[in-house]
Chains A and B, each alone.
Chain A
Amino acid sequence: MPSDETLREMHHQMVRIRLFEETIQKIYFEGKTPAFDIAAGPVPGEMHLAAGQEPVAAGVCAHLRPTDAVTATHRPHHVALAHGMDMKKLAAEIFGKDTGLGHGKGGHMHLFDPATNFGCSGIIAEGMPTAVGHALAFKKQGRDDVAVSFFGEGAANQGAFHESLNLAALWTLPVVFVCEDNAWAISVPKEKATAIANNSDRAAAYGIPGVLVPDNDPVAIYEAAGEAVARARRGAGPSLIEIKTDRLLGHFEGDPQAYRTKEELALLKERDALRAFERRLIDAGSLTAADAEATWTRCRTEVDGAIEFARTSPYPEPAAALQHVFA
């Protein structure tokens, strides 16, 4: 069981992620109404938000340090923030500004942060091999850092998933594979895409531990990740964790979600893991209601500051598009 201090920090991370995602959602539609135009407004392009998946980021990243490598997906903000990415640089990158992580060249699916050894990829499952490579480097360098690869349940049917698990297991590399099962690969439900119920069972195929966290519970995630990270750090090799989590929003903003029922969406809202976790901490005395309120206020201020920074930052010079192809 995590300490009260850790629980409060996990709650804090979840709150700041939620507020960040909700704020980006609101801003995303600026300039896109009444007629939706994906290219319009301060934030163009696709936008994949992770509201509902905060427990995964908070529970896993609580065990990490900035030198640990993290690879994430097209839905990366929750993990990036929980791993310590500067929120201002993240927001500025989303706005396409020169002060962003990649000076506006990457965008929200291609975030690279040397300060936290973070990278992500918009190609399903293809962040996994790079995580294996980070771990390979750590082993060669004699460091006890670990690499954590986040991916969705849709990724587990890609070749890269299987190749990565095999290579990491074969070479006993310090990798933690974290499958965020939000039940939906855009519009295709998991049961129509995956031959087995739980991807954690696939760990057996590579002779590594496979752990299932069935209910988006931050504490259970924290505990499963703690074991896997410790195992990787002591050189005992990779693990696979599967977490049944919830995608509260559409695949991308503007997704009409005709494939989901109203009942399902209502149920997700009702069982919102962040609210449930907050209530639980207050009931257990780990967090006072006043502290919870203060956390929301503090995070609101942080998010507003990051958005203000992004809005007021300059765009890159257009011709900067031609720079940075090569080092």
Chain B
Amino acid sequence: MAVETQRLLTTSKAISEAIAQEMERDPRVFVMGEDIGVYGGIFGATEGLLAKFGPERVMDTPISETAFIGAAVGAAVSGMRPIAELMFVDFFGVCMDQIYNHMAKIHYESGGNVKVPVVITTAIGGGYGDAAQHSQTLYGMFAHLPGMKIVVPSTPYDAKGLMISAIRDDNPVIYMFHKGVMGLGWMTPNPRATGPVPEEPYTIPIGKADVKREGRDVTVVTLSLMVHRALDAAEDLAKEGIEAEVLDLRTVIPLDREAIVESVKKTHRLLVVDEDYRSFGLSGEVITTAIEGAFDHLDAPPARLAYPDVPIPYSRPLEQFCLPDRGKIAAAVRQLMS
């Protein structure tokens, strides 16, 4: 997507700017979570908000996810538009009942009479040695449960537009940012985590994938940090004469099935790159979508590169062995082409 601005922001700054602009526009919007005030969010998603809006609208909470995510649900039903941060998605276990039995189901159970406009922001992903309880992506698990939209941006531009859409949406939205796309000074430098972001507010529709790189030979469907890795791999492949199309899903729910099918019809080959666990998840869903919608167009069986079905190990060689990366993506594409 061409962005006509020279202003560069990191993804974390793009997110906090989006929240700030929506808080200025709509007094019903407020933020709560652990360390989101004075600290600005462990991953910077709420940086500067406390100074701008004060502690009534930017509320540090106790370490009490069931209470404050449940409070977000109740506040939304009573007319507010809360944003609640679950520091790491891995912490869902201490509050999942509020998320999937309450937030996600109330609109349905009420026959459409009660809206629950909550945004839950949460950090996902590994690659930096944080081990089994602080490195998962888990969007596939949330996506399996009906009633929540799932947003997983990969660029600063998308992060801002999708955050504004998420806040304005009348449904619960899980907004998942990968730590590796945030552009944090204390993570391994990632040039793709900084990009052009217009200053004025704008929206990106939830449910629309985006072609991050056009190509004729193979479709790489991916999302979040793996978009960066796939773009790196595509550059390497281009030198060999293989033009990979990189389709960034951007949102998991609703899934842009049409974009997947259209791209596969064009390239006739599909690789799914997924940092989530391999089985019973996103990669299987994307491949099923391609088979259902473009079976006759496929020149090779669809392939996937995903996290093996093991808890995330700590030691660097172990974790790197499990994670998809630039080299593994390029190798998987080559195999698909051969």
Chain A contact residues, CB within 8 Å of chain B: 69, 71, 100-107, 110, 112-114, 117, 119, 121, 123, 126, 128-138, 140-141, 147, 159-160, 163-164, 166-167, 170, 323-327
- In whole angstroms, what is the CA distance A135 to B73 when docked? 11
How far apart are B73's CB and chain A's nearest CB, in angstroms? 5
13 contacts between A and B (CB under 8 A): A105-B110, A110-B105, A119-B114, A128-B70, A129-B73, A130-B98, A132-B71, A133-B71, A137-B77, A137-B79, A160-B70, A163-B62, A167-B62
Minimum-distance CB pairs A-B, first 9 = A129-B70, A133-B74, A103-B111, A163-B67, A133-B71, A130-B74, A137-B78, A112-B110, A102-B111
Question: Are B56 and A170 neighbours in the complex by a CB distance under 8 Å?
Answer: no
Besides A114-B113, A130-B71, 14 other A-B contacts (C-beta < 8 A): A105-B111, A106-B111, A110-B105, A119-B106, A123-B101, A128-B70, A129-B67, A133-B76, A136-B75, A137-B74, A141-B78, A141-B80, A147-B74, A166-B62
| Cβ–Cβ contact B70 & A132, under 8 A | yes
- Interface membership of B102, Cβ < 8 A: yes
- B62 partner residues in chain A, CB cutoff 8 A: 163, 166-167, 170
B101-146 CB contacts (< 8 Å) to partner A: 101-102, 105-115, 146
A135 surroundings in chain B (CB, below 8 A): 74
A131 to chain B, nearest CB (A): 6
Q: Which residues of B contact A130 (CB under 8 A)?
A: 70-71, 73-74, 77, 98, 102
Closest to A112 in B: B110
State the Cβ distance, A103 to closest chain B Cβ, in Å: 3
Residues of A within 8 A of B106 (CB): 112, 119
A167 to B114, CA, bound (A): 24
Q: Is the CB of B71 within 8 A of A167?
A: yes
Q: B74–A131 contact, CB under 8 A?
A: yes
Q: Which of A126, A170, A324, A325 contacts B101 (CB 8 A)?
A: A126
A167–B67 contact, CB under 8 A?
Answer: yes
Q: Is B149 an interface residue (CB 8 A)?
A: yes
Q: List, in ascending order, chain A residues with CB within 8 A of B107's CB.
A: 324-327
Give the chain B neighbours of A123 by CB distance below 8 A: 97, 101-102
Residues on B with beta carbons closer than 8 Å to the beta carbon of A105: 108-111
Given A112-B106, A129-B66, A327-B171, the answer on whether A104 and B111 have CB atoms closer than 8 Å is yes
Give the docked Cα–Cα distance between A240 and B67 (Å): 16
When distances are taken between beta carbons in the complex, the residues of chain A under 8 Å from B190 are none
Q: Provide the residues of chain B in CB contact with A102, threshold 8 Å.
A: 109-111, 113
Specify which chain A residues have a CB less than 8 angstroms from the CB of B97 in the assembled complex.
Answer: 123, 126, 160
- Contact partners of B170 in chain A: CB under 8 A: 327
Q: Are B147 and A69 in contact (CB under 8 A)?
A: no
Q: Write out the residue numbers on chain A whose beta carbons fall within 8 Å of the beta carbon of B111.
A: 100-106, 324
CB of B74, distance to nearest CB on chain A (Å): 2
Known: A105-B109, A129-B66, A167-B61. A114 touches B114 (CB 8 A): yes
Please tell me if B72 contacts chain A, counting CB pairs below 8 Å: yes
Distance in Å from the Cβ of B35 to the closest Cβ of chain A?
16
